[in-house]
Amino acid sequence: MINKDKIVDDIDEDIDLNEYKIEDLKTSKTYNSEQEIPNDLKDYMKKVGIEVDSDKSGIFLQSGNKLDLCVSNVQGIELMPLKEALKKYDGSDGKLNLQNYFWKAVASDKDKFTTEVAINEITDGYFIHALAGQKTIFPLQSCLFIPPFPGLKQVVHNIIIAEPGSQLDIITGCTAHTGAKRAIHLGVSEFYVKKDAKVSFTMVHNWTETTKVRPRTGIILEDNAKFFNFYVVMSEVKNLQTNPVIKLIGKNASYFGQTLIYAKGGSYYDTGATAHLIGEGSKAEIISRVVAVDNSHVIARGKIIGDGKDVTGHIDCSALLLSSTARVDSIPAINAQNPEVTLTHEASVGKISEENIEYLMSRGLTEDEAINLIVSGFLDADTSPLPPSLAEETRKIIDIVSKSEMG
Amino acid sequence: MNENMLRIENLTVRVDNLQILKDFSLNINKGEVHVLLGPNGAGKTTLIKTIMGFKKYKVESGKIYFKGEDITNLSISERVSKGIGVLFQRPPEINGVKLSKLLSVCDQKRSEFAKEASENACDSDLDDYMNGLAQRLKFSEHYLERDVNTGFSGGEVKRSEILQMMVMQPELLLFDEPDSGVDVENVELIASVMRELLDRDKVPSKQEKSGLIITHLGYILKFLGHITRAHIVMNGKILCSGNPKQIINGVMKNGFEKCKECISCIDPTEKFNEVDFTL
């Protein structure tokens, strides 16, 4: 049981990364096609919206620290293990030098988790590269799975580059086997979105009550670059801390992030996003919707720093508290460093109003049905900014996840 | 045939320690439409919310019967399942729940209560049905995709409420100020749907629905056809009951204050006629 008065730094201090192990990777084998993926693994993937046999532009699967499968079907969009990409893109013959993208969006010495990822030489992750002007038709899929290996340390480093004018749609599912005990997931993701490029990223997490999760994400947006970030987590977790940092360095760059959390059991979530508006006319919107039940504790943060001329930012953190033993801290922060900025925020934490429940009951719903309808409406994602195929996919995933997790 | 629909017997109701209704009694038979008039704060909305069973409205004494059954202690949903429907004056905004979603829930509930399969077997049937109803109320399809009551104008709220009633098809309809905040054209539109919901255009022997209409001004009554009875409510009690035309004319002319002296309605040119079925 987590002491609710502790701040997250204390929770991090409790983690000794030397207590976690990386499995023996020498004996592992990689699958050659979707058909070879075992059915039970497919079932886990489905729970986070990853459907192996469907139409997709490409797929990357990893169990623990072992690559399971990597298939890319679309010309102009590259998907490969990061180690392999590093060899390919060495800067020779006028090619991209991938070394220039290492630890530029996330600092390697940010904390002990990024340091662990930086010093680890045997683990991998994915590299996604959309060439200039190329667009994905179907979303790319990636799935990171924690197998039932007690005390496993999953260490992942991903780099995503969208070259000028490209469009990337990505679905990522991270999940753990129900038998995964005391595992930790460390995932560094660095996104580089260049001029006029657009990235839509839907991420679904489904953990177990003993998993600790520390994603570290950095996003750099150049002129006119757009980023849509959807994050959905509705399962139990031991504790999870994430706070993607978005640097909008380009003119008119824009970021829209939406987080949906259904926190249950004894889960502890500290989630947020920090957007740094540097480029003239850049804008950011950070939205979070939290429903806390049981003994869960959620800290929902959002921070926007307005530096550039004519930038706009808005934070909206709303939470429903549905149990007297749950807790939500909503912490929006706006920081203006230029008089020509428009930054706003709103935050609310509360229970569902009796008036709303009784109104729905007057249409024949029972009290529980009325509460469920309000909660699922509250957690309904605004997928309108997403491209149609990803929007549909995202809605489908949210539907699957909420049905299985909210009962 | 005087089959009873709603019978309220000596109801005393408290809201936040304030007694609002005092020894209130009312009887509405099947096929009857009654109108309740009264100044602000008289207890009209309290009556409706008490009939529905809202928690804040505490019944201290008295009984509410629906079709002969004591419903005083039933939950809101149980009352609705028996055939009571309500149009609220100021319903709350339900963020995240689209009107189309609420309507499909209403449709599901209606068929569940009627113990029959939904007439709209597949989703596209349901969509067509909803869109047909929405068109009748001059709502665009886009409108159904808005969150319930969120940013609705006064008239839109009332049309959305009556749309839900069209789907629910209750036997007893309670209308709390169906015309407040509604522009003239839309009053007629709402009134035409109310007539339909209340079987007003059928011959009296086929009129099976009952209604209780709360109104301030009575303007909408012009479009509703025959009203069985009107009641003046003041200070939580029915002050007088009788011929709707006579009472409404009296109130229009002299205001509610004169009702206390009961001199408004004394007009020799108007004849009291309880069984006036002219439309």
Q: How confident is the model at residue B264 (pLDDT cuts 50, 70, 90)?
A: low
Q: What's the pLDDT at B276? A: 39
Using DSSP bridges, classify how beta strands A341-350 and A77-81 pair: parallel, antiparallel or unpaired: unpaired
Query: Measured between CB atoms, which of A356, A364, A367 is closest to B94?
Result: A356
pLDDT digits (tens, 9 = 90+) for B202-216: 888 888 999 999 987
Q: From the CA of A383, how many Å to the nearest CA of chain B? A: 13
A358 touches chain B (CB under 8 A): yes
The answer, for B171 touching chain A at a CB cutoff of 8 Å, is no
Note whether A353 contacts B: Cβ–Cβ < 8 A.
yes
Identify the pLDDT of residue B265: 59
B96 touches A: beta carbon within 8 Å: yes
pTM of the entire structure? 0.84
Average pLDDT, whole number, for chain B?
Answer: 87
Of the options 3.40.50.300, 3.90.1170.50, 3.20.20.370, 2.102.10.10, the CATH number for the domain spanning B4-93+169-261 = 3.40.50.300
In angstroms, the CA B8 to CA B29 distance is: 12
Tell me what pLDDT residue B119 has. 62
Is B112 or A383 the better-scoring residue by pLDDT? B112
CA distance A193 to A163: 7
- The answer to whether A378 contacts B94, with C-beta atoms less than 8 Å apart, is no
B69-92 average pLDDT score: 96
What is the tens place of the pLDDT at every residue in A44-59? 888 888 887 766 778 9
What torsion, rounded to 10 degrees, do the Cα atoms B52, B55, B57, B60 define?
100
Whole-number pLDDT of residue A180? 86
User: B271 falls in which pLDDT band (50, 70, 90)?
Assistant: very low
Domain boundaries, chain A: 8-350, 352-407
Which position has the higher pLDDT, B243 or A303? A303
| Phi and psi, residue A18, nearest 5° | -75, -15
Confidence of residue B263 (pLDDT cuts 50, 70, 90): low
pLDDT (0 to 100) of residue B272:
42
Cα separation, A60 vs A80, whole angstroms: 8
What does the DSSP 8-state code read for residue A97?
A: B
Cβ-contact A42, A32 below 8 angstroms: no
**pLDDT confidence band for B163 (50 / 70 / 90):** very high
| Nearest chain B residue (CA) to A354 | B55
- Chain A residue with CA closest to B82: the answer is A364
Residue B101 to residue A356, Cβ atoms within 8 A:
no
CB A162 within 8 A of CB A199: yes
Nearest chain A residue to B163 by CA distance is A363
pLDDT of residue A89: 95
> In this complex, do B105 and A365 lie within 8 Å of one another by their Cβ atoms?
yes
Task: Name the stretches of chain A with pLDDT < 70.
Answer: 1-10, 54-55, 407
**Contact B96/A379, CB-based, under 8 Å?**
yes
Instruction: Give start and end residues of each alpha helix (H) in B13-153.
Output: 44-52, 76-82, 99-113, 123-136, 141-144
Structure tokens at A133: 């002007």
Contact B91 A359 (CB under 8 A): yes
How far apart (Å, rounded) are the C-alpha atoms in residues A166 and A202?
A: 17
pLDDT at B2: 72
- Minimum Cα–Cα distance from A365: chain B residue: B77
Please state the domain extents for chain B.
Answer: 4-93+169-261
- Residues in contact with B183: Cβ distance below 8 Å, sequence separation at least 6, in sequence order: B155
Residues 80 through 119 of chain A touching chain B, CB cutoff 8 Å:
none
Contact at CB, B105 and A359, closer than 8 angstroms:
no
State residue B278's pLDDT score. 39
Q: Which pLDDT score, from 0 to 100, does residue A137 have?
A: 80
The CA distance from A217 to the nearest CA of chain B, in Å, is: 29
pLDDT at B234 over 60: yes
Give which of A372, A212, A182 is closest to A293, Cα–Cα.
A372
* Rg of chain B in Å (alpha carbons): 19
Q: Which residues of A touch B147 (CB under 8 A)?
A: 377
DSSP 8-state symbol, A100: G
- In Å, what is the CA distance from A207 to each residue of A23, A179, A326, B34? 19, 11, 19, 59
B279 versus A123: the higher-pLDDT residue is A123
Distance of alpha carbon A105 from alpha carbon A101, whole angstroms? 8
Strand pairing category for A239-242 and A198-206: unpaired
pLDDT value of residue B245? 85
> What's the pLDDT score for residue A237?
94
Enter the DSSP assignment of B232. E
Selecting from B88, B109, B147 the residue whose C-beta is nearest the C-beta of A364 gives B109
pLDDT of residue B268: 42
Which residues on adjacent β-strands are paired with residue A344?
A: A314
A358: nearest CA in chain B? Answer: B54
pLDDT of A73? 82
> Would you say A365 and B66 are in contact if contact means Cβ atoms under 8 Å apart?
no
Is this complex scored with an ipTM above 0.85? yes
Q: How would residue B277 be classed by pLDDT, with cut points 50, 70 and 90?
A: very low
Which residue matches tokens 């309904």?
A380
Q: Say how far apart CA A171 and CA A182 lie, in whole Å.
A: 26
Q: Which residues of A touch B98 (CB under 8 A)?
A: 377
Interval B14-63: pLDDT, tens: 999 999 999 999 999 999 999 999 888 899 999 999 999 999 999 999 99
Which pair of tokens denotes residue B153?
Answer: 């104008």
